[in-house]
Structure 1
């Protein structure tokens, strides 16, 4: 456990992405199996220890530490695992110094996976008693899967590829067909075996992504235009008699959308946008019939989706591209040929669950811009421009695909509450809830954001919160309603879950309006007029 804890410490205090990748690569090369495999699983979020959750750790800590001290410390530190690792009392024994070599990483994973939920606290306590503070932190992070060390799953896979001189896309191709601690993957990386193959397994293939379209214009003779829909990008995979749905990050979301999975029975790999059918909506000039993202959000992340939920929020996929037709890999073909194959494939699919993203007709780029400016459909984010001769290649390749998002909406809102951040922001109030004025003069929350501000603005806002706090609620502070924030957002929708009846999509702080008095901030009725 010592080597893994040292890796986590180093990652936390390293800012450079390349330096982080090298740290992970060095660890993977020098650490034996199966420890390194479980570490890689933890770094990619693929390690599941169902018996240990945050509530278990909190309850265990409260049995060893004064609950008030724990809550106050957690409020200050901002991370439960770090708080518990620092406060955990050393057990009484003859030699008080901790020896984190007594609990190996693979051993810890095996023991925690084997215990029941009722036995998990005692087993976890026994291991914590034999670790120092750094080892305890590593164990708790490992158990919960919430590492927060500035590395995502793609970065960890890239680190593996760099360390062993293999193609990261090759890693992605087989990743979902493998299981921790990945002995086949390391055997391939070290040249002891051939690359693993996922045969008759519905595995994830890396998505092709787009660059933002900036100043330069593209020639519509070379590029096709289609709508960029505001759902979540998904990959439908049918192989070996099994169907899976994957998100853009490679997460398996099949259980959240069993109705879509059940309807996809043709062996293929398709790329599309997961949406929810709009109640009472028919197709319009955009392809239509899709509700706002807020409707889709009712189903995201659910492990069990009731029949009623499926009826109230019927999901479907608007298809963009075709990667495989049966066992035939189409990715090397130009976009125009893949599009023709997809169009020919559509009659084999259930029209209630799958439709085709329409192409946009325009004589030139200027006309295309006019069409984009007039699009305020609730489920349209903007446009995609795809080079007609482009193959389907993983990641972002310059000159092939562009995204041209519609201009964001903005509103002047009043800061209401602030909450401490996590990780590097745990010492700052960095998550801000803001609102607009109702007709009766009450300020109602319309959104929450932590993005869009610079480090200097973060420090300024943190000082404002500390100097203008009127009430405290644990890690949350209510502030004097005097500061106006200009908030940019992609769209706004009706929501029964919020007091204001509204919910913003992708809100971010674009400006601090110290020049504007709070009473001049926007009104709820103004926001309602923006609902699409």
Structure 2
């Protein structure tokens, strides 16, 4: 545990990529394989579920430190991180332990959430008393389910590839799918002769970079449009449908196995040639048309899907790439070749309501494609994807071959009506805002919450203003006098029975602080309602 805590500190104290990779290589080179496997799991984002409620952790830490709850709260406001606050306030350890990370995780952390409250309290006190400050800090992060450090999965992959003298793509593939941290797994991860026996394992997803219309003149710098394939950029769930050795698996981009949640797509597997892997997008498809993302949300997160929901919210897989055919890895082939073979498979499967070849968008020039792109929202798309026809299927986000050319977001001018403090480094500042619009009775009705888009300087100014203009307190929320106006951007709009406004917006964020406007100049709810079409679908802004 001590070596892992030291690694966390080393990664947290530098912003240099080379230094992070060197620290990772040094740790993995000397770590016990069991410890290293758990470290890999945590570092690439597979954090455990919260084992103990945060409120209980703070309560027990305050008692152990001999301070009142309010003082711990004040310290948290100053530090900005609950795990670090607790680690700093606890008395020095009464003994020293260098128990391996794997033992801590497997024997203490994983069983912890299944114990009764008193047992949890005693276990937590015992662990705190056996750890120094840096170990407690990391341990608290793991217990709270909030573990993260300034290192990406790509950097971890680079470090492991360097240590094992492997291609990063090979390591990235081995890290995909469902695996359990163990000594055997870590050793196979670095074994150049290791063969993949996991039939369910997906490939690392190829991702696109956004095109900056403002600074680069849109896609004009990409050359001849004839060298590119344009497709609609759908707003669904990116996934890979895998059929191997008579078994079917459906993986999301977030590496969640969702085969049982979409039985109509799982049913496609046996109809595909064995050894097939299709990359595509899960979309609700009914009456020959894509339906709004709001419909898909009715199925997201459900472990089981009843007959009524299957009937009312049917999904289809819009296929846009073929990664494996008859067990052959096709990723090194040009896109035009992969697409041709995909088209043959989709046609042979012949289930046009469930497996659909994602349509390409014709255009003889970038101007012509821009004109087509302007109507993206009519198709419930976010814009266009541009893919070089001779591109391979890269691992991760590699600049140059795949671009996402999204349409401009919808915008609205809204009034700041309440705020709450942020988390982490923003815990002492009011950074999480609620914005409202005027209704027909000239009342402000909340329509969105947002916390991103302002500069650090603007955040400090808004925070100071909020502290001077607080009206009421509701738990952590502070209402304020309705004076400040901000321009919000969002990707979509839909009707909602869960919101007082009757409207929900998708991916809201702050574009700018409208210091030139008064609250009375802000938009009205009818401005948003005018953008709705159909029972829950968006229209053009």
Verify: 1:511 aligned to 2:512, yes or no.
Answer: yes
- Structure 1, 481-490 or 179-188: larger mean CA deviation: 179-188
Work out the CA distance in 1 between the residues paired with 2:528 and 2:312.
26
Which residue does 2:192 correspond to in 1?
194
Separation in 1, partners of 2:471, 2:430: 15
Q: 2:107 aligns with which of 93, 97, 111?
A: 111
Contact 1:42 1:145 in 2 (8 A): no
For the 8 Å contact 1:103–1:127, the answer to whether it is kept is: no
Structure 2 CA distance, aligned partners of 1:314 and 1:63? 53
Provide the residue aligned with 2:124 in structure 1.
124
Q: 1:302 to 1:196 in 2, by over 3 A?
A: farther
For structure 1, which runs of at least 5 residues remain unmatched after alignment?
A: 91-95, 284-288
- In 1, the alpha carbon distance for the partners of 2:113 and 2:420 equals 35
CA displacement at 1:248 relative to structure 2: 2.5
Identify which range, 233-242 or 150-159, moves more after superposition.
Answer: 150-159
Counterpart residue number, 1:442 = 443
Aligned pairs for 1:152-301 (under 5 A) are: 152-175=152-175, 176=177, 178-186=179-187, 189=190, 193-213=191-211, 214-215=216-217, 216-217=219-220, 218-254=223-259, 256-265=261-270, 266=272, 267=274, 268-277=276-285, 282-283=287-288, 289-301=289-301
Mapped partners of 1:258, 1:144: distance in 2: 34
* Aligned counterparts of 1:248 and 1:25: Cα–Cα separation in 2: 27
Q: Count residues in correspondence.
A: 515
**Any idea what the Cα deviations from partners look like across 1:468-509, whole Å, max 9, x if unmatched?**
222233433222211001112222221222111112222221
- 1:124-523 maps to which residues of 2 (within 5 A)? 124-175=124-175, 176=177, 178-186=179-187, 189=190, 193-213=191-211, 214-215=216-217, 216-217=219-220, 218-254=223-259, 256-265=261-270, 266=272, 267=274, 268-277=276-285, 282-283=287-288, 289-346=289-346, 347-348=348-349, 350-377=351-378, 379-523=380-524
1:172–1:204 CA contact under 8 A, matched in 2: no
Q: CA RMSD in A?
A: 2.9
Q: Which moved more, 1:5-14 or 1:34-43?
A: 5-14
1:530 aligns with 2:531: yes
After superposing the two structures, state which structure 1 stretch, 77-86 or 484-493, moved more.
77-86
Tell me the TM-score normalized by structure 2: 0.86
Q: Is this contact kept in 2: 1:292–1:378, CA < 8 A?
A: no
| Superposed displacement of residue 463, structure 1 | 2.0
For residues 187-246 of structure 1, the C-alpha deviation after alignment (integer angstroms, 9 at most, x for no partner) is 653xxx434322351112112222333424242321121111111221222224433332
Q: Secondary structure at the match of 2:87?
A: helix
Cα deviation for residue 271 of structure 1 reads 0.8
String of CA shifts for 1:99-143, please: whole Å, max 9, x gaps: 442543121112133567125614334322322333222112223
What is the SS of the residue equivalent to 1:377? helix
Secondary structure of the residue aligned to 2:290 is: coil
Q: What is the alpha-carbon distance in structure 1 between the residues aligned to residue 230 and residue 490 of structure 2?
A: 24
Q: Partners in 2 of 1:148 and 1:502 — Cα distance?
A: 34
Name the CA distance, whole Å, in 1 between partners of 2:468 and 2:89.
30
Whole-Å Cα distance in 2 between the matches of residues 184 and 203 of structure 1?
A: 14
